[in-house]
Chains A and B, each alone.
Chain A
Amino acid sequence: MPPTLLSITRDELDLAALVRLVTEHSDEPPGRHGAVVTFLGTVRGENLGRRVLELEYQAYEPLAVRAFEIIAAEVADTWPAARLALQHRIGTLRPGEGSVAIAAASPHRAEAFKACRYAIERVKQIAPIWKREIFEGGDAWIEGATADPSDSVARRAARERACR
């Protein structure tokens, strides 16, 4: 099944499909965008000095899609010409496999870079997705931010990381 703009999947991620989603849009003339920036987060085989065997991702899917919608709306607020596609994979992933894919298109490259970076920062802050690291000798839930989309301090920090 082709990916939708904002979704959770158990399948292998396909950046090229996301690029098509943000550039081939029936409401827009072709060539509206002059830049597409993509991001693929991949499973690192080493973390905190231990050898990672697998990451097991869980998501609260309906709220994760809702979180992606919030992120897309924030991107639209900040960079109105940008168009975002965002897909996160769940299930068991091995080192080297893609876990999150983002494509941000914009008429000019500066906004596309910023929108893409902002989106991954916000995914890490608010998307209800969790990973358990299975490493040599044990396993551990990785815990990052307390998910609160209305936390303006976090949102500002994501924007600063995107724009510096």
Chain B
Amino acid sequence: MQVTIRLFARLRDIAGAADLVRDVPEGATVETAWQALATEFPAMAPHRAALSAAVNAEYARFTRGLVERDEVVFLPPVSGG
């Protein structure tokens, strides 16, 4: 199934893109999508510990299951203000 991955800040710079559409297997979680991303872009891997995530514009745990067309966003440590 296809999901859209949106990237911001440092992760966007590493990928060189703001949005990616990727295939993930049925039963995939946010973590599965992250692992695929970190495999594609190894420079992202060290950032995992400080990330949080969102699915369809709601905060989500990495254990959250995904369905077709979900929008998954990985949030680097925030710095608004």
Q: Interface size class for chain A? A: 20 to 34
CB-defined interface of A123-157 with B at 8 Å, one 1/0 digit per residue?
11111111110000000011111111110000000
B80 touches A63 (CB 8 A): no
B81 touches A60 (CB 8 A): no
In the bound assembly, the distance between CA atoms of A128 and B8 in angstroms comes to 9
Q: Does A85 contact B (CB under 8 A)?
A: no
A60-B73, A63-B58 given as contacts; is B52 within 8 A of A127 (CB)? no
Question: What number of residue pairs across chains A and B have CB atoms under 8 A from each other?
Answer: 90
A128-B8, A148-B52 given as contacts; is B75 within 8 A of A60 (CB)? yes
In the bound assembly, the distance between CA atoms of A150 and B61 in angstroms comes to 11
B81 touches A143 (CB 8 A): no
A123 touches B81 (CB 8 A): yes
Q: Does B3 contact A (CB under 8 A)?
A: no
- What B residues does A23 contact at CB under 8 A? none
B81 touches A132 (CB 8 A): no
Least CB separation from A99: chain B residue: B81
A60-B6, A63-B54, A66-B57 given as contacts; is B81 within 8 A of A145 (CB)? no
Within 8 A of A (CB), among B52-68: 52, 54, 57-59
Q: Interface size class for chain B? A: 20 to 34
A62, A66, A127, A146: the one contacting B80 at CB < 8 Å is A127
CB distance from A88 to the nearest CB of B (A): 6
The dominant DSSP class at the B interface is mixed
- What B residues does A63 contact at CB under 8 A? 54, 57-59, 73
CB distance from B70 to the nearest CB of A (A): 14
A60 touches B54 (CB 8 A): yes
In the bound assembly, the distance between CA atoms of A88 and B6 in angstroms comes to 20
A147 touches B75 (CB 8 A): yes
Pairs across A and B, CB under 8 Å, 21 listed: A41-B81, A58-B8, A60-B57, A60-B73, A63-B54, A66-B58, A100-B80, A124-B78, A124-B79, A124-B81, A128-B73, A129-B79, A129-B81, A132-B9, A143-B10, A143-B76, A143-B78, A144-B78, A144-B79, A146-B77, A147-B77
Name A residues whose Cβ lies closer than 8 Å to a Cβ of B.
41, 57-60, 62-64, 66, 88, 99-100, 120, 123-132, 141-150
Sort A-B residue pairs by CB-CB distance and give the 4 closest, nearest first.
Answer: A129-B80, A62-B57, A130-B9, A143-B77
